[in-house]
């Protein structure tokens, strides 16, 4: 790619393409070389690790951001955890800290805001780390979330220590799905018309750590799809009553979740049946005040040692994260 792609927020993959372009310009992404065997070979940056961009649910975007993606950074091969022995190479923690800071500095020099976000990711627990990368609308503020807002939290799942949730340690997806099913709002409900037409078209998925709000104890993503009669037609038109259907159903799902003690984040941009296929909400429970910081967050394997020091990133960014 030789020219910077034009960003169009209406195009779902537009933000990913734009950030991928800049990662390539900055020398942080793989390059592909055509060699004598006629095949394209991937060549990774030396000593830096490498990055690629992935989409982020709009419900997780900072307020007033015009684009937002997650940039996944993978450490250099010399500093990766050995999956056979669990051994973390000497210098891995410093490599993570230095390269994440350098990656953030490079992206911010390219006009983005970037920061580690979500529950802690460390070389002892994860194969790489995620950065939240976004750009604010011209003239809007650039406030950031509080420094180490996720410190009182265990390392993000899945990880090398806790890869799955056990029966006695229920995943947030199972908990929310059970709640929605009991209210007739889940696709697995015995009676699809038990509560409200269309409101049972919900699917759940784990919310990646980078999408978690700073105060979340658990977080899950809920995708709501309209009933077939209220979806966009092949010719691009939608039924007259589609807008009301979308508003009623998503409001009901939100109301049920909040009644059960969940905070619900929704996209700041109003959904539009003419443009959108579904609505993705983030449901989370907050960390109780006074929750102690776990030992691993203070030890060499934990958050402060694996990521940049408390003085970085700059303080004073709460406003764009207010919901």
The pLDDT tens digits of the residues spanning 15-64 come to 999 999 999 999 988 887 777 777 777 777 888 899 999 999 999 998 88
Least confident piece of the model among 93-97, 127-131, 301-305: 301-305
State the angle between helix axes of 172-182 and 242-259 in degrees (0 to 180), rounded to the nearest 10.
110
Q: Is 149 helix (H, G, I), strand (E, B) or coil?
A: coil
CA distance 318 to 278: 29
Write down the residue that tokens 């998925």 correspond to: 205
**Phi-psi sector, 28: left (phi>0), alpha (psi -120 to 50), beta:** alpha
The number of beta carbons lying within 10 Å of the beta carbon of residue 22 is 21
pTM of the model: 0.79
pLDDT at 191: 52
**Phi-psi sector, 49: left (phi>0), alpha (psi -120 to 50), beta:** left
């Amino acid at each position: 790619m030789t020219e910077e792609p034009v960003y169009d927020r209406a195009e779902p993959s537009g933000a990913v393409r734009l950030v991928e372009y800049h990662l390539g310009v900055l020398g942080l992404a793989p390059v592909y070389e055509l060699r004598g065997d006629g095949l394209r070979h991937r060549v990774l940056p030396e000593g830096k690790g490498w990055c690629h961009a992935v989409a982020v649910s709009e419900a997780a975007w900072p307020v007033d951001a015009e684009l937002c993606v997650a940039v996944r950074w993978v450490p250099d091969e010399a500093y990766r955890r050995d999956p056979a022995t669990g051994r973390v190479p000497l210098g891995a923690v410093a490599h993570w800290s230095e390269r994440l800071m350098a990656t953030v500095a490079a992206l911010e020099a390219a006009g983005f805001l970037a920061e580690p976000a979500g529950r802690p990711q460390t070389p002892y627990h994860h194969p790489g780390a995620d950065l939240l990368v976004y750009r604010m609308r011209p003239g809007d503020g650039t406030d950031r979330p509080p420094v180490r807002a996720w410190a009182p939290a265990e390392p993000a799942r899945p990880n090398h220590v806790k890869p799955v949730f056990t029966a006695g340690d229920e995943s947030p997806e199972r908990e929310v799905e059970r709640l929605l099913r009991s209210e007739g709002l889940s696709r697995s409900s015995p009676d699809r018309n038990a509560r409200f037409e269309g409101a049972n078209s919900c699917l759940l998925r784990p919310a990646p750590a980078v999408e978690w709000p700073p105060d979340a104890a658990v977080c899950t993503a809920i995708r709501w799809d309209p009933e077939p009669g209220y979806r966009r037609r092949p010719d691009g038109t939608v039924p007259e009553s589609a807008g009301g259907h979308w508003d009623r159903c998503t409001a009901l799902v939100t109301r049920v979740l909040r009644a059960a003690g969940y905070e619900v984040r929704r996209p700041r941009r109003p959904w539009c049946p003419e443009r959108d296929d579904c609505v993705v909400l983030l449901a989370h429970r907050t960390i109780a005040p006074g929750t102690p910081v776990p030992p691993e967050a203070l030890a060499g394997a934990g958050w402060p040692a694996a990521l940049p020091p408390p003085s970085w990133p700059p303080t004073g960014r709460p406003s764009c994260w207010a919901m």
